A and B are shown apart, each in its own frame.
Chain A
Amino acid sequence: DSGVTQTPKHLITATGQRVTLRCSPRSGDLSVYWYQQSLDQGLQFLIQYYNGEERAKGNILERFSAQQFPDLHSELNLSSLELGDSALYFCASSVGPGTFSGNTIYFGEGSWLTVV
């Protein structure tokens, strides 16, 4: 158990709909990351937050948005869903934003999203 909690574990929704995925980081971690894993794309970095502020952006679509709240939990909002958005969405957390030894990134178990 990494200490990163994600809900829901599984979600099935229709095209055009909107969903929210939730993540609670490990106790003491201030930085949160979102990743997407689909069959054809592998693990892709979406976005990073540190202490409520956006820190880095990866291959995140404009239909997707995220935020980190004052209690440090984070939500990933996916809207106007398409079949191709079906994937595993992982949240991860680390102590801080920078690169230093010990600032290891730990992953949650993911949220399976199926768009039908």
Chain B
Amino acid sequence: DAKTTQPPSMDCAEGRAANLPCNHSTISGNEYVYWYRQIHSQGPQYIIHGLKNNETNEMASLIITEDRKSSTLILPHATLRDTAVYYCIVKSRVTNNLFFGTGTRLTVIP
């Protein structure tokens, strides 16, 4: 399974866009990039996923580079409730499992 690299922590001012980067240079052609977040000790919450094209939903946008070796999750207008650990995961092509790394701890500052 492809490994991902994320910065351990980031800060973002409330109301500004939060851009969370992720490197996944060993990703294979059919593997998806998934983003989850975990607020305190709640269950991981699905945010968005993509294969090749950029994706947008009501929570966030996902920008995937053309070579698919990196991606960026964008929260357009961060709120205090977006403070969480954000996980970028390349989904196993064999078993549909998610292997979590250490993620990025995003702190939204008032």
Contacts and interface: CB of A to CB of B under 8 A. Distances in A.
Interface of A: 2, 4, 31, 33, 37, 42-45, 48, 55-56, 58, 88, 90, 92, 94, 96-99, 101, 103-110, 112
A99 B94 contact: yes
8 contacts: A4-B43, A37-B41, A99-B94, A101-B32, A101-B49, A105-B96, A106-B46, A109-B43
B interface, size bucket: 20 to 34
Contacts, number: 68
Interface SS of chain A: strand
B102 A110 contact: no
B96 A99 contact: yes
Contacts of A37: 41
B91 A99 contact: yes
Contact of B43 (A2, A97, A101, A103): A2
